[in-house]
Amino acid sequence: MNKRVTFKSQWLPYALLAPQLAITLVFFIWPASQALYQSVLRQDAFGLRTEFVGLENFAALLADPLYLESFHVTIAFSVGVAAVSMSASLLLAVMADRVIKGATAYKTLLIWPYAVAPAVAGVLWFFMFNPTIGINAWILRTLFGYDWNHTLDGGDAMILVVVAAAWKQVSYNFLFFLAGLQAIPRSLIEAAAIDGASPTKRFWTIVFPLLSPTTFFLLVVNVVYAFFDTFGIIHATTSGGPANSTTTLVYKVYADGFVGLDLGGSAAQSVILMAIVVALTVVQFRYIERRVEY
């Protein structure tokens, strides 16, 4: 889409675009190309020589059990976060759509976690699930007899980060679901009621299908969020442990690259991540282009 009416100028548009383009080229395009370049190199043990090794780094990664494990961890994490967060927020949105009294109050109280940094959210839940003094851990111990310890048990650690990430994301999903619900014409629901459908039936046969563009959109966003924005949560709480049980792909890039100083491998991981982002973004945009108005 373009504007019909434009201004004529030889130099002005370039001047206006220059800042953004300059920063983009220096801090985005160049590093990305560097990552691509470095991913096909390998440094020797002393960092003295680099040699071109083609796709060896990639092959090594895909054969590395630790890398594949982090893939599994990431997928499990994403599914967990998306499922928990989306179902909770959908439920809350549906309820919030129904009530008239106190709607604004509920809304305010439910969206504030958006403002919390992922790392801080991690710390909060980390505190609450602290094996010794955490209030949630205490509740689990005394009421359910479950001995919670996320520093020892990988499953507990995973649950911790999933809960922290999902908690934060509920507010974002809630807003979008609410907007999506409010965009459904009242006349459709009324027509269904006249046709004899109960509220539950109405929800599953009419509201939910009409909500599917929003649901799909949020699904992609949640997956992207789980993949990338949750570094803070993991780094601030479990540091990828115990025993790599919460090492997601992004966390691994950081650990291998900055801590382990493995340039080639880390670059290769970055490239794979880039490919995933591109795929997800393409899917998101393609789907948005095809949004149908009803």
State which of positions 219-258 bind other proteins (CB under 8 A): 221, 228-229, 231-232, 235-237, 239, 250, 253-254, 257-258
Task: Considering only residues 15 through 34, tell me which ones interact with other proteins, judged by CB under 8 A.
Answer: 16-17, 19-21, 23-32, 34
List, in sequence order, the alpha helices (H) in 99-229.
103-111, 118-128, 135-144, 154-182, 186-194, 199-202, 208-210, 212-224
Please report whether residue 127 would count as binding other proteins according to CB under 8 A: yes
Q: Which is nearer to other proteins, 3 or 72 (CB)?
A: 3
Least distance (Å) between residue 61 CB and other proteins: 15
* Residue 244 DSSP code: T
Specify whether the CB–CB gap between 250 and 165 falls below 8 A. no
| Size of site (CB under 8 A) for other proteins | 103
Q: Which is nearer to other proteins, 60 or 217 (CB)?
A: 217
Nearest of 202, 197, 191, 194 to residue 94 by alpha carbon: 202
In the block, tokens 């390998």 appear at 42
Least distance (Å) between residue 32 CB and other proteins: 5
Binding mask 79-98 for other proteins (x = CB under 8 A): ---------x--xx--xx-x
Residue 166, CB-side half-sphere exposure with 13 Å CA sphere: 20
Q: How far apart are CA 202 and CA 208, in angstroms?
A: 9
Binding mask 129-158 for other proteins (x = CB under 8 A): ---xxxx-xx--x-----------------
Please report whether residue 208 would count as binding other proteins according to CB under 8 A: no
Least distance (Å) between residue 236 CB and other proteins: 4
Q: How far apart are CA 242 and CA 129, in angstroms?
A: 15
Which of 190, 195, 201, 204 lies at the binding interface for other proteins (CB under 8 A)? 190
Q: Which is nearer to other proteins, 58 or 126 (CB)?
A: 126
Please report whether residue 53 would count as binding other proteins according to CB under 8 A: no
Task: Considering only residues 272 through 291, tell me which ones interact with other proteins, judged by CB under 8 A.
Answer: 273-274, 277-278, 281, 288
- Which residues have a Cβ under 8 Å from the Cβ of 90 and sit 6 or more positions away? 173, 177, 215
Which of 169, 222, 246, 266 lies at the binding interface for other proteins (CB under 8 A)? 266
C-alpha dihedral, 241 to 62 to 254 to 124, nearest 10°: -40
Task: Considering only residues 160 through 189, tell me which ones interact with other proteins, judged by CB under 8 A.
Answer: 167, 170-172, 175-176, 179, 189
CA-derived radius of gyration, the chain:
24
Stretch that binds other proteins, among 42-50, 77-85, 118-126, 153-161 (CB under 8 A): 118-126
Cβ atoms < 10 Å from Cβ of 114? 13
